[in-house]
Structure 1
Amino acid sequence: MISETYYIITIAVWNIIVCCIYGYDKLCAIKGYQRISEFTLLFLAFAFGGLGALLGMVLWHHKTQKWKFKIIVPIALLWSVFAIGYGYGLIVI
């Protein structure tokens, strides 16, 4: 039971971090600072941060016009849900 709780909390915190990274990149875009690469942003989405990436796109209005992000981030969200659910199933067993 405790390991399940830590698993869920870890995934939730990670998705919040990914969302904040998208917000930070948006701030860098506005201020003209050095940006985070698109590869890194997409990698974070596939590294179990699909929900955070999608929320970051919507919340910060960031990368919403790029077709690559419109297509790949929802795929990353599906991947994250599948992989997290599978991992959660292994923990419960």
Structure 2
Amino acid sequence: MNDYIYYYLLAVNILAFVLFGVDKQKARRNKWRIPEKTLILSAVIGGSVGAILGMRFFHHKTRKARFAIGVPVILLVQIGVVCLVQWAMK
């Protein structure tokens, strides 16, 4: 069962990273953009590390507080939840 969690997290983090890259390309070309809600949602569902890496690698959304502060906070909450669950299982 735990293997599925790792595969899920790997996939959702790759997805988040790719979404930030695609949105950056679309921004450069003045094309239809990926909604900010979708980018944030990709972090919330477990892709926060991929979202942070995408923000840094593509230099995208780094000046928007919603992302620059929000995504790392999401990551910290997720780490806290994992720690709490592991502590509760002992």
Counterpart of 2:78 in structure 1 is 80
What is the Cα deviation at residue 85 of structure 1? 5.3
Q: What is the root-mean-square deviation in Å for CA atoms of aligned residues?
A: 2.1
Distance 2:76 2:83 in 1: 10
Q: Which residue of 2 aligns with 1:51?
A: 49
Aligned counterparts of 1:69 and 1:16: Cα–Cα separation in 2: 18
Say which structure, 1 or 2, has more relative contact order (CA 8 Å, 6+ apart): 1
Q: Does 1:26 align with 2:24?
A: yes
Report the AA paired with residue 24 of structure 1. V
Matched residues in 2 for 1:43 and 1:4: separation?
Answer: 23
Give, in angstroms, the shift of residue 61 of structure 1.
0.6
Contact 1:48 1:84 in 2 (8 A): no
Q: Which runs of 4+ in 1 moved over 2 A?
A: 79-87
TM-score by length of structure 2 reads 0.83
Unaligned runs of 5+ in 1: none
Structure 2 residues not aligned, in runs of 5+: none
For residues 79 and 11 of structure 2, the distance between their equivalents in structure 1, rounded to whole angstroms, comes to 15
Aligned equivalents of 1:86, 1:12: Cα separation in 2: 21
Which of 22, 39, 42 is residue 37 of structure 2 equivalent to?
39
The percent of aligned pairs where both chains have the same amino acid is 34
Aligned residues between the structures: 89
